[in-house]
Amino acid sequence: MDNYTGFDTANFPGMKCMEWLKSNTGLTWCGFYLAPAPSHQNTSWMNQRKALSKQGWGLAPIYVGRQTCGPGAQNPTGSQGSTDGAQSAHLAGVAGFAPQSTLYLDWEDGSPPGAEAMAYINHWIAAVIAAGYQPGLYCSHVVAPTMKKSVSTTNPAATLRMWVWKVTTAARHRYDGDIRKLQPADPAGSGTDADLWQFEQNAVLTLPDTHCDGLQLDLSWSTLQDPHSPAPQNGKA
């Protein structure tokens, strides 16, 4: 099975940087932040979908909803999950993502989720499905099995794509590899049944004389060349 390498970064780095990365690296897809969201207000990605697709990028629409830790909006509840799921679908439509595209809820807390947290996540998923999209969940590899089991019980019709993070450091650091030579790997290396595996966080590229020098990004491997593409209704993509 083929695997693919992608990246995400909170603020849009500019079309010249995106063009350089597409032409000079093996990166094939990128995160696309749906905004304004409760914990991500920057809207710089929102009007870039057509141009990025024209460059040949696959896309992973990310919604950073309410959290139980860190910066941004907190106090997630089931009712708020319904509201935020509907907003995610609305923003996806505004950005031009077709119905049945997969949208990824960004969940930052790596500790076991409480009842309210899972209520928020499950209501978000139900709202996304009701609006005609498909759900994905970004979370720690530690809690991924528990979350997936809860979703399969509460939303048995959901075809959930899992994007897990498992990294050696979350601190900002210089990327020691050569981004131009980075090869794809199987997300199963995360130790989970994941569709995507984020293996680097807050890595800073050193690329003198390019439009991407100093870019801070996260790197992921995926089984999908285009992570938002519709998933089969009965089974993993």
Give 38-85 pLDDT, tens digit per residue.
999 999 999 999 999 999 999 999 999 999 998 889 999 999 999 999
The rounded mean pLDDT for the chain is 95
On the question of pLDDT at 235 being above 50, the answer is: no
Give me the pLDDT at residue 231, please.
78
pTM assigned to the model = 0.96
d(CA 231, CA 166) in angstroms, rounded, equals 24
Helix axes 115-130, 78-95, angle to 10 degrees: 40
Grade residue 237 by pLDDT with cuts at 50, 70 and 90: very low
In this prediction, what percent of the chain has a pLDDT beyond 90? 93
Q: What digits encode the pLDDT tens for the residues 77-129? A: 999 999 999 999 999 999 999 999 999 999 999 999 999 999 999 999 999 99
Give me the pLDDT at residue 95, please.
98
Read off the pLDDT of each residue in 176-193 and give the average, rounded to a whole number: 96
Give me the pLDDT at residue 98, please.
97
- Which residues are paired to 138 by β-bridges? 106, 163
d(CA 103, CA 89) in angstroms, rounded, equals 8
- Which residues are paired to 163 by β-bridges? 138, 196
Amino acid identity of residue 181, one-letter, is K
Is the Cα torsion angle 28, 235, 101, 78 positive or negative in sign? negative
Token pair listed for 168 = 């050696």
Read off the pLDDT of each residue in 204-223 and give the average, rounded to a whole number: 97
Read off the pLDDT of each residue in 188-192 and give the average, rounded to a whole number: 96
Give me the pLDDT at residue 233, please.
55
On the question of pLDDT at 185 being above 80, the answer is: yes
Grade residue 234 by pLDDT with cuts at 50, 70 and 90: very low
Omega cis (within 30) before 36: yes
Give me the pLDDT at residue 158, please.
87
Q: State how far Cα 214 lies from the chain centre.
A: 22
Token pair listed for 134 = 């498909």
Which H, E and C letters describe the chain, residue by residue?
CCCEEEEECCCCCCHHHHHHHHHHCCEEEEEEECCCECCECCCCCCCCHHHHHHHCCEEEEEECCCECCCCCCECCCHHHHHHHHHHHHHHHHHHCCCCCCEEEEECCCCCCCCHHHHHHHHHHHHHHHHCCCEEEEEEECCCHHHHHHHHHHHCCCCCCEEEEECCCCCCCEECCCCCCCCCCCCHHHHCCCCCEEEEEEEEECCCCCCCCCCCEEEEEEECCCCCCCCCCCCCCC
Grade residue 1 by pLDDT with cuts at 50, 70 and 90: confident
On the question of pLDDT at 147 being above 50, the answer is: yes
Q: CB 220: neighbour CB atoms within 10 A?
A: 30
Is the pLDDT higher at 236 or at 150?
150
